[in-house]
Structure 1
């Protein structure tokens, strides 16, 4: 491909913010929960590249024809691949799209087709637009995508803080993560965390059901967490925000509670894969784990419970809850947002 930007460019990144930034220098966008993906098009050649510079093209054949129909035949876009289910964004279904078998890839491209939500234009023709202000790049992107149809969408934006606050609340019901804030006059700087991501943060009391060893097998890597649904304890995720000293203390704290539980028993209780199970994203990693009696309760901060079953990301340990009985740690404490149709986010002019 003869484009002004290399395929292995690291995309611009974001840093977490405590609240939506204020001031007339910002613009705001919905924060999509998908695969960050750069699109490189040079004539009929289209490449989809992940944030980590992995080729993604073969996994999403259904979106490629739409990129070949864009008004410009040489472009580089930044955006997210998403899958939309009955209840909004479905990250689990999106993860399943990464499969080694061509027959499975073709089947899933029809069963759970992906959409691409574009939010930046980095190059067009011979022009490298990364040094241009975001406002300029946005206008060029709107012109490029004028008349584009599903599966390509242009993310909405606003410069109004009240609208951003409204999006933050309403769009959670469609499965979105929160809101992005970007400098309207800012350039696109690869690898730099100059954008701000504002995500939903909540807390939950969880039962410690085990711990996973560190990569070298010499220390504690993370605590495994569970929640009760009726009388069944379900694995929901992990927390790993500990210092080296705290990890040593945790091993001593958990050792008296260690028990042997056969994998088949956890498999029947777990709402997802059992703790330490393999996924397509964890191949080659040491995922050995140790089971403990479900007697300790801790409070963690989380951003999202995916499909009502698993924490979307690693949680942040806050404190021990010595006053909380483990059986009181259930799914009923998890807040849910009012459902919102993803399609309503894209207001086409």
Structure 2
């Protein structure tokens, strides 16, 4: 049976979380969205951009270890920890690996946990048209106990959960309508997210150098017309000297003479422009300013993202 990968259902951003009635809330984990496809013989891991990541996580590629089903599609988040807190930077260390020996070493060095929150298909049948409450009940039946696979817990008080997330500086909360079906490729207010730590994926349109090495990135987002708008520069964060050194070495092949941003740019005289689409990065930030820039952006990691992922729609 062929299982073609699908785009997952996405929550919309909200300033307030609904409560009571048919609403439940879950922790929003700071990791990599991952769907597991098991056809009864083979297991595939595919991310939200439909890129196959089976090779990167060999310890989670035998679905019968953690599911009790003849076939299944699970939706969840792969997370890794830095001390006691989920760290996007840590899980991206696994995402970036391609060599088999490096991947094998990383199984112990950077262990991942699969936080599962939905089931789209089970035992030969699609379940996306079932209400969430029924899918969650089915998920409890499908999952086997496993040290690295857990079902995401529900809570009836979204704001209380948000206060806990804020106290522990975790990413945030997702509130979900228990009557909602799973809209493949959809994004609407039946799932709503409220973030403690704001973040987005930005395109890199240029860099600045210090002593010949990249020391900061010039960031942008695309509008609906496909124009790239400058939203700020950032050098602080979790990118390492090795990350900057590798980017410096790749500059020659990515440089362009034309400014890729539609608007004016800070540090324009110092900038080295690069072609849009060559690099993207996840950025945490304090707030979005009235001037259309990020306040206190902090770089987290380079990510595999297309232009369609680096748009102003992320602010919605």
Q: How far apart, in 1, do the equivalents of 2:136 and 2:228 lie?
A: 50
Cα pair distance change 1:13/1:286, threshold 3 Å: farther
Whether 1:9 aligns to 2:13 is no
Cα pair distance change 1:42/1:91, threshold 3 Å: same
Shift of 1:17: 0.7
Larger Rg belongs to: 1
Shift of 1:313: 6.4
Name stretches of at least 5 consecutive residues in structure 2 with no aligned partner.
209-213, 260-264, 269-281, 299-316
Shift of 1:240: 3.8
Q: How far apart, in 1, do the equivalents of 2:150 and 2:252 lie?
A: 36
Q: How far apart, in 1, do the equivalents of 2:54 and 2:88 lie?
A: 18
- Could you say which residue in structure 1 is the equivalent of 2:141? 143
- Could you say which residue in structure 2 is the equivalent of 1:110? 108
- Could you say which residue in structure 2 is the equivalent of 1:318? 290
Shift of 1:8: 2.3
Task: Could you list the structure 1 runs, at least 4 aligned residues long, displaced by more than 4 angstroms after superposition.
Answer: 172-175, 221-224, 234-239, 241-244, 247-250, 273-279, 282-291
Shift of 1:14: 1.3
Shift of 1:198: 0.8
Name stretches of at least 5 consecutive residues in structure 1 with no aligned partner.
204-211, 216-220, 225-233, 255-265, 294-309, 322-328, 332-349
Alignment of 1:119-268 (within 5 A): 119-145=117-143, 147-158=144-155, 160-161=156-157, 164-172=158-166, 174=168, 176-194=170-188, 195-200=191-196, 221=205, 240=220
Q: How far apart, in 1, do the equivalents of 2:253 and 2:132 lie?
A: 39
Shift of 1:249: 11
- Could you say which residue in structure 1 is the equivalent of 2:87? 90
Question: TM-score, normalising length from structure 1?
Answer: 0.61
Shift of 1:314: 9.8
RMSD: 4.4
* C-alpha contact (below 8 Å) 1:240/1:317 kept by paired residues: no
Cα pair distance change 1:223/1:170, threshold 3 Å: farther
Whether 1:292 aligns to 2:289 is no
Q: How far apart, in 2, do the equivalents of 1:130 and 1:137 lie?
A: 8
The SS at the match of 1:55 is coil
CA deviations over 1:152-206 (Å, ceiling 9, x no partner): 0010012x23xx2222122345553111111111110111112211112679xxx
Cα pair distance change 1:25/1:270, threshold 3 Å: closer
Cα pair distance change 1:199/1:291, threshold 3 Å: closer
Number of matched residues? Answer: 261
Cα pair distance change 1:176/1:201, threshold 3 Å: closer
Cα pair distance change 1:278/1:15, threshold 3 Å: farther
Q: How far apart, in 1, do the equivalents of 2:184 and 2:84 lie?
A: 34
* C-alpha contact (below 8 Å) 2:207/2:215 kept by paired residues: no
Shift of 1:51: 0.2
* C-alpha contact (below 8 Å) 1:34/1:80 kept by paired residues: yes
* C-alpha contact (below 8 Å) 1:239/1:317 kept by paired residues: no
